[in-house]
């Protein structure tokens, strides 16, 4: 039986590309991964045969997981931070990286990261990130053991230069391996081949509802929102009919609708015959007045079953103080218990606060952002 997680991973590619895209990618023998920054946790949604052979993992062991599982005690934290910054800025990066195979053995790779833009939407929307991994061969056999007591002194010794890979735990470390031009050219060539294959199988990725094409959220904002463990949606008051532009995993679990089924739609699809129109009018009036709302509303899941929705709606302002979105946080009244003893109101206010911090901190940041308009 297909789980919601498996369906989400599959739809990550098929929502942008034809159903033949997996076969096309399987024909490319090189080692690479494709990840989706719009899914909470920025998971792997495709792992090539070449990567699985190189790493020793099976496909089921890596799909849905963050690529940090390949890091280990000798992985440079500075390199990891450079990768994170490149993702935040949605740019290409080539960097030498010490990763670990499934059996725990370390291996040096040239890590080539590049953003993959959704085909045909006209917004330069980053739909995925591609990471091509090319092994860096040994060019010497020097291995050093760094004790904890002398670790800091070695880091400060300029004579060691950049050739020493220092393990933060003070354990055995291997010599730093720098990729040569051959590895760099191969990685760039493979990345170009993969991007071209994706372009051939691309289809319009933007969600269209009532003739409206949704401008994309930035990858950094998607990743930040994905860390919030609560049912919520973001809506855009600047677009016709105030459509949903982000829906959390918690929202999908609560309502039964997948993210792809709700993006671009107004939240009224949750309403039904028992929904109180007076409460809906109150919400509309508060949105017009740019005020928050806290209401109890009868809504309906995808399967038609009703639930009492404890709904908190609040405006979300960007760094310049203008309203960028409205956030709606939902709690099923029938399952409102919390393991930490927090009331529904406190949980909702916590989620709203996290959303506001994410939007404000990223609205003036680097990358393809929604907030420049």
Beta pairing partners, 326: 235, 315
Which range among 137-151, 335-349, 351-365 shows the weakest confidence by mean pLDDT?
137-151
Indicate the range of 5-19, 79-93, 170-184, 338-352 predicted with least confidence: 170-184
Contact in structure between 191 and 132 (CB atoms under 8 Å): yes
d(CA 244, CA 298): 19
Q: How far is CA 319 from CA 90, 159, 349, 370, in A?
A: 20, 46, 20, 12
The confidence band for 371, taking pLDDT boundaries of 50, 70 and 90, is very low
Q: How do residues 302-311 score in pLDDT, each as one tens digit? A: 999 999 999 9
Rounded Cα distance between 82 and 301, Å, is 42
Neighbours of 182 (CB within 10 A): 12
Q: In this structure, what are the phi and psi dihedrals at residue 193, rounded to the nearest 5 degrees?
A: -65, -40
| Residue 323, Cβ density class (10 Å: 0-12 exposed, 13-18 middle, ≥19 buried) | middle
Residues ≥6 apart with Cβ < 8 Å to 352? 312, 314, 327, 329
List, for residues 62-118, the tens digit of each pLDDT value.
999 999 999 999 999 999 999 999 999 899 999 999 999 999 999 999 999 999 988
Per-residue model confidence (pLDDT) at position 325? 95
Output the six-digit token pair for 25: 């990618």
Residues 71-76: contacts with CB within 8 Å, 24+ apart?
Answer: 71/99, 71/100, 72/98, 72/99, 72/100, 72/104, 72/106, 73/167, 73/168, 73/169, 73/171, 74/98, 74/106, 74/165, 74/167, 74/171, 74/173, 74/174, 75/99, 75/100, 76/165
Tell me the per-residue pLDDT of 241-294, one tens digit each, with 9 for 90 and over.
899 999 999 999 999 998 888 888 899 999 999 999 999 999 999 999 999 999
Beta strand pairing call for 32-35 and 293-300: unpaired
Strand partners, 86: none
The answer to pTM > 0.85 is no
- C-alpha atoms less than 13 angstroms from C-alpha of 353 in its C-beta half-sphere: 6
215 secondary structure, DSSP code = P
Phi/psi of residue 128, nearest 5 degrees:
-145, 170
CA–CA dist 173, 75 (Å, integer): 10
pLDDT for 138? 83
Who contacts 52 (Cβ-Cβ below 8 Å, separation ≥6)? Answer: 58, 59, 62
Taking only the tens place, the pLDDT of each residue in 133-187 is 999 998 654 444 444 444 443 333 333 333 444 444 444 456 778 888 999 999 9
Locate the DSSP E strands across the chain: 32-35, 44-47, 93-100, 106-117, 126-135, 143-145, 172-174, 208-209, 212-213, 232-235, 244-247, 293-300, 306-317, 323-332
Q: What share of the chain is helix, strand, coil (3-state, %, to 5)?
A: 35, 25, 40
């Amino acid at each position: 039986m297909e789980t919601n997680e498996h369906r989400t991973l599959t739809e990550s590619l098929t929502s942008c590309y034809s159903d033949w895209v997996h076969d096309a990618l399987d024909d490319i023998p090189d080692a690479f991964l494709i990840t989706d920054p719009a899914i909470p946790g920025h998971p792997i949604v495709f792992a090539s045969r070449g990567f699985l052979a190189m790493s020793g993992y099976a496909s089921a062991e890596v799909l849905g997981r963050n690529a940090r599982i390949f890091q280990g005690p000798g992985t440079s934290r500075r390199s990891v931070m450079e990768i994170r910054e490149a993702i935040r800025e949605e740019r290409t990066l080539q960097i030498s990286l010490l990763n670990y195979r499934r059996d725990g053995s370390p291996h040096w790779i040239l890590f080539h990261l590049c953003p993959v833009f959704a085909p045909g939407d006209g917004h330069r929307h980053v739909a995925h990130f591609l990471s091509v991994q090319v092994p860096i061969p040994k060019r010497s056999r020097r291995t050093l053991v760094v004790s904890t007591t002398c670790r800091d002194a070695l880091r400060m010794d300029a004579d060691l230069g950049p050739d020493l890979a220092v393990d933060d735990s003070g354990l055995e470390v291997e010599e730093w391996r720098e990729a040569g031009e051959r590895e760099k050219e191969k990685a760039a060539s493979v990345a170009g081949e993969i991007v071209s294959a994706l372009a051939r199988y691309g289809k319009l990725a933007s969600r269209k509802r009532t003739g409206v094409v949704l401008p994309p959220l930035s990858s950094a904002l998607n990743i930040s929102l994905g860390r919030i463990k609560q049912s919520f949606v973001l809506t855009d008051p600047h677009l016709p009919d105030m459509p949903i532009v982000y829906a959390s995993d918690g929202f999908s679990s609560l309502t039964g609708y997948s993210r792809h089924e709700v993006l671009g739609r107004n939240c009224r699809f949750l309403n039904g015959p028992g929904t109180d129109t007076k409460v809906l009018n109150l919400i509309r009036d508060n949105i017009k007045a740019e005020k928050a709302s806290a209401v109890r509303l009868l809504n309906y899941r995808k399967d038609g079953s009703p639930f009492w929705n404890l709904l908190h709606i609040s405006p979300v302002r960007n760094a310049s103080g203008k309203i960028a979105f409205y956030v709606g946080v939902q709690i099923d009244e029938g399952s409102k218990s919390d393991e930490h003893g927090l009331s529904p109101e406190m949980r909702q206010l916590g989620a709203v606060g996290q959303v506001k911090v994410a939007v404000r901190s990223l609205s003036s940041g680097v990358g393809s952002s929604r907030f420049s308009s």
